Amino acid sequence: MTRPEDILVPSPSGVCCKLGGFHIDPTRPVERAVITHAHSDHARAGHGAVLATQETLDLMRLRYGENFAGMTQAMAYGESVNLDGTKITLHPAGHVLGSAQVAVEANGLRVVASGDYKNVADPTCAPFELIRCDLFITEATFALPVFHHGDPDAEIGKLLHSLTLFPERAHLVGAYAIGKAQRVIALLREAGYRAPIYLHGAMQAVTDYYVKRGGALGELRLARGAGKTDLAGTITLCPPSALNDLWTRRFPDPLAAFASGWMRVRARARQQGVALPLVISDHADWNGLTATIAATGASEIWVTHGQEDALVHWCAARGLKARPLDIVGYGEEEEESADTAASEANALPLGAGIRDDGGA
């Protein structure tokens, strides 16, 4: 009888499918990689061949340049390929644009590696699709019962309220460059905010790409071109690391906000010098994780990156076989943003995509 371990095995550099001869989200260069999404801790450059959604491949190209992999193969959601006796299918993970769960089937057994995921609505990406399986590999970024992300609209309301309280201050919103920034912009537009939204240069290329893929985000401008007085009472999206950077000096009395699930914990907000924490996350919260695990029907759960212990405990209490995977290198999106912040100086002038769709 085939066991899940016969299909996938954890290794320090990521989950490996020996049968199919590929890794999922490997943290070191490998011959064949299936990539769940474009965040740098999951999508690294230098693999021989990469299989992913078109959006993930495009975003990787934006980050790493044309030659980020020997060869690439794009797959749409729901499409399947066969690799040496295994069948691979990608399904939406609801995390960011192009994010996918990887379903691997062999000998009548189905394993799903979810990558990062969230099971709540996001105007900037396809909704999470639940796949029933025998083994489910889940993330555990917010796997503690203190994490309840709540209603993102209420958090956007806090930001808009602060704008009316401090109309003389520039509101800087720290947000990861891929996904979070565009989601915050989309949520602001849904809440009826019509004013131009300013961007840090590091946000530009990705935001441009989101707009091109059909997500109208209203009028966007680069903060770099704006005068100090023009920025009073405006919203600017920037990488989190830029919040405490010299870069903020161009703004009048800047107020630091940060859109992240980490903002639920006070100490985390304070460590980052955040005055306005906004609990908006692209990961599932505690209830989201546990509800999803239960709904997959999987009898075995592997838990990776984050608070593995709590989720393993929760599974065990429900009679599910569960184990933590010690894969080094995931969950460092925050560090990723430090690189992108530094790159503003090299950013290109305002892209055509932004201008074309401005005000739409």
Partner 1 sequence: MNRFAELLDRLAYEPSRNNKLRLLTDYFRSTADPERGWALAALTGALSFPHAKPGLIRSLIAERADPVLFELSYDYVGDLSETVALMWPAAPANPSAERPEDELSLTRVIETLATLGKTQLPRQLAQWLDALDETGRWALIKLVTGGLRVGVSARLTKAAVAALADQNAHHGNVPEINAREINAHDIEMIWPGLAPPYRELFAWLEGRADRPTSSDPAPFRPPMLAQALDDADLSGLNATDFKAEWKWDGIRVQAVAGKQDGYPAGALIKRLYSRTGEEISKSFPDLLDSLRLPGAIDGELLIMRGGRIQTFNVLQQRLNRKTVTAKLMAEFPAHLRAYDLLADGDEDLRERPFAERRTRLETFVARLAEPHIDLSPLIDFHRWDELIAARKNPAAWGAGADAAAVEGVMLKRRDALYLPGRPKGPWWKWKRDPFVIDVVLMYAQRGHGKRSSFYSDYTFGVWTRGEQGDELVPVGKAYFGFTDEELSQIDRFVRRNTVERFGPVREVVHEADRGLVVEVAFEGLQRSSRHKSGLAMRFPRISRLRWDKPPAEADRLDRLEAMLRRIEQGHLEGQTA
The residues of the shown chain that bind partner 1, judged by CB under 8 A, are 144-148, 264-271, 273-277, 307, 309-310, 313-314, 317, 326, 328
Minimum CB–partner distance for residue 327 and partner 1 (Å): 11
Q: Which is nearer to partner 1, 212 or 313 (CB)?
A: 313
Across the chain, which distance is largest between two alpha carbons, in Å? 70
171 CB neighbour count, 10 Å cutoff: 24
> For residues 274 and 174, is the Cβ–Cβ distance under 8 A?
yes
Minimum CB–partner distance for residue 161 and partner 1 (Å): 12
Q: Which is nearer to partner 1, 209 or 286 (CB)?
A: 286
Give the number of C-alpha atoms closer than 13 A to the C-alpha of residue 204, restricted to the C-beta side.
22
Minimum CB–partner distance for residue 291 and partner 1 (Å): 15
Q: Which is nearer to partner 1, 173 or 354 (CB)?
A: 173
How many whole angstroms separate alpha carbon 100 and alpha carbon 94? 8
Minimum CB–partner distance for residue 232 and partner 1 (Å): 18
Q: By C-alpha distance, which of 109, 155, 156, 151 is closest to 133?
A: 109
Minimum CB–partner distance for residue 74 and partner 1 (Å): 33
Q: Which is nearer to partner 1, 156 or 263 (CB)?
A: 263
How many whole angstroms separate alpha carbon 96 and alpha carbon 103? 18
In a 10 Å sphere around its CB, with 0-12 CB exposed, 13-18 middle and 19+ buried, how is residue 87 labelled? Answer: middle
Minimum CB–partner distance for residue 323 and partner 1 (Å): 13
How many whole angstroms separate alpha carbon 220 and alpha carbon 205? 12
Q: Which is nearer to partner 1, 16 or 275 (CB)?
A: 275
Q: Which is nearer to partner 1, 97 or 315 (CB)?
A: 315
> Buried (b) or exposed (e) across 297-324, using 16+ Cβ within 10 A?
ebebbbbbbbbbebbbebbeeeebebeb
